[in-house]
Structure 1
Amino acid sequence: MTLQLTPTEIETAQQLLHDYAPAQEVWEYLSAANGNLDECFDRLIEAKNPRETYGEPKKSLWQSTLKVLRQELCGDEGFRGKVKEYSKNPGSTPLLTGLIVSLVGVAGLPIDPAIATVIALYIIKVGLNIFCDYTDSGEQS
């Protein structure tokens, strides 16, 4: 599922995160990808980790990242609470920044703050419940 942010959604996120330095580099990639979050993620990953670092991907790095994050986020009541708080007040800069920071620190996974910003925008756009259902491979843990 390809997910695209509208120009209004991008502008709103830029306004909310104007003081959050790690998010600033996201806007260039999001603009180049015409709001497509999957493509933005790929471009950002490539910029931070050139292909010679990890080789040609055998499968989508974006889909793999979402799958791993699903395992960490969907059962985490603390993260779920942060998403609910933001959903109730989508104009809150501290709540959005807190959501991104929470992603950076989730289960000790080494997620770059700019990449966490893209992932947070994705989760906000689609909703956590849909994210969890969509990324569920049907495997029982």
Structure 2
Amino acid sequence: MSEKRLKCGLPQDEAELKKILTPEQYQIMVENGTERPFSNAYWDHKEDGIYVDAISGVPLFSSEDKFDSGTGWPSFTQAITPEVVIELPDYSHGMQRIEVRSRSSNSHLGHVFDDGPGATGKRFCINSASLKFIPKRAV
């Protein structure tokens, strides 16, 4: 097991982590991957509720802050509270971006851009595979 994995708050046993996550979730959340646009669970999801970390269950985003960015990924103007996410510089793929990670599991969620609507001007572009949805009626 890598030193990085021990520091990131994920289950220490790799086999347990792979039981919790699907292969796609593992590739995205642990290996910093990206899912295909327009073919993921929440890109066009409109139900009221909250989106939680697929590993820890910590609430990350609200449907009240979700908007259609036209990108094919779920997009939010802000996190439920700023403390639930970590923003880090990302220079991969020949680009300069800001990566968004879950503070509770230190897993990759997506990226944040400065081209969103409203007061924040932010667009949190998040992989559906990093999230689980909890409908408002269940809260």
- Calculate the TM-score normalised by the size of structure 2: 0.28
Which structure carries more helix by proportion? 1
- Calculate the TM-score normalised by the size of structure 1: 0.28
Which structure carries more strand by proportion? 2
